[in-house]
Chain A
């Protein structure tokens, strides 16, 4: 079974440009998460989708970031316009649904997209 995939693996753009990152979760996983690691810092939560709905977007840095998950399958994360401080590795993760009967749902991570803003 394929794992979580992310595209592109690397992206180098100039300040002010737009970039769109894509994440394909494991088939059948209702939960999809975005995380980001800025160089030298912790991996930080950005947001959580349950199917196509945003369950928690408390980690989104500002309104230059837009995440979508149309149809509840793949997700995109758009940064517009990109700033220097947006550079980092963006991870996507997915987990099964299961509701309150499960203690937790293991999150499976993708390889990440390394974004460099010049």
Chain B
């Protein structure tokens, strides 16, 4: 079965420190990868996506993720977090060739400590 694993359910980090949120997915021939973010009391927002091409993708607010096919990973990183980054982050995969059904990880709560 297709699955996405986010090993860390909660990640506390001090403001201005770096952070990495880990994501691994079950192997498939072709995948599209996403990170969604849910800020408190808001809906899911797409943070960044990998469809093809460069394996390093970036968001407008300083996050980046790297697609690693050999390790089936798509870890999310930010070199210096802000209080406003406090949110829950979901890694997600769309397995191409089938229906448009997104498979999500369990989510990682990022808590930025002042």
Contact = CB atoms under 8 A, between A and B. Distances in A.
Interface in A74-118: 91, 93, 95, 103-112
Given A42-B4, A91-B43, A56 B104 contact: no
Contacts of A40: 106
Interface stretch (B14-22, B59-67, B93-101): B93-101
Most buried by A among B32, B46, B52, B104: B104
Which 8 pairs of residues, A with B, have the shortest CB-CB distance? A111-B43, A109-B44, A43-B104, A56-B99, A45-B101, A42-B106, A42-B104, A109-B43
B32 A104 contact: yes
B46 A45 contact: no
A56 B102 CA distance: 12
B51 A104 contact: yes
How extensive is the interface on chain B, given as a class?
20 to 34
A74 B49 CA distance: 27
A111 B42 contact: yes
A43 B90 contact: yes
A108 B36 CA distance: 10
B68 interface: no
A111 B43 CA distance: 4
Interface string B16-48: 000000000000000010001000001111100
B43 A48 contact: no
B44 A48 contact: no
B51 A42 contact: no
A26 B36 CA distance: 18
A57 to B, nearest CB: 10
B103 interface: yes
B54 to A, nearest CB: 15
B32 A103 contact: yes
